[in-house]
Every structure is written in C-alpha cells, then in structure tokens.
Amino acid sequence: MILGVGFIARIARNCKELFTFCSVIGLAVLVRHSDVFGKMMFRVDPEVHRKASLAAELSGKSLNQWAEEALARAADLPNSE
C-alpha cells in the first residue's frame, strides 16, 4: 500500500515518527523529489517573524541559517552546521 505524506502525517509528531510508523505497518511514504529543492516560502505571524529575526541576530546567524537549524531540530534531523 502506498500513501502520500499528507494523509498519514496528521498522526505523526515528526518526520522520524512518521517514517517509523509507516515502516512498522508496511507503508511507503512518497515525497516527490521534484517537490524538494531547498526553497521554502511560508507565512508566519509578524510577532513570530520578529522574535525569530532577533534570535537569529543574537546567535550571530542569518535568519535563513537559524530557521534551517530550527526546522532540522523540529524534523528530528542532524544539524546542518
């Protein structure tokens, strides 16, 4: 059985849990490689943007570097530093 990521992701808290769950029940999770090319655009609340920008500045990183590390942690992936 093959399902798209969107269908099953609602029951998983992070990527590692999603792939473990799918492996256990024998599902293949498909992420089209054409959809994954390193650019992400999304909207956030202005206060979130302000705080993220400040956190990045205080850590001596660009907002992109800071956000990439935050996303990697949230996805439970090794740090990209």
Per residue in 28-60, pLDDT (tens digit) is: 665 555 556 677 888 899 999 999 999 999 999
- Report yes or no: 56 and 48 within 8 Å, Cβ to Cβ: no
Q: At 4, is the secondary structure helix, strand, or coil?
A: strand
In a shared domain, residues 45 and 13: no
Domain of 80, in residue numbers: 38-81
What's the pLDDT score for residue 40? 80
In a shared domain, residues 45 and 56: yes
In a shared domain, residues 27 and 58: no
Greatest CA span in the chain, whole angstroms?
Answer: 47
C-alpha span between 56 and 54 (Å, rounded) = 5
What's the pLDDT score for residue 15? 67
In a shared domain, residues 10 and 32: yes
In a shared domain, residues 30 and 59: no
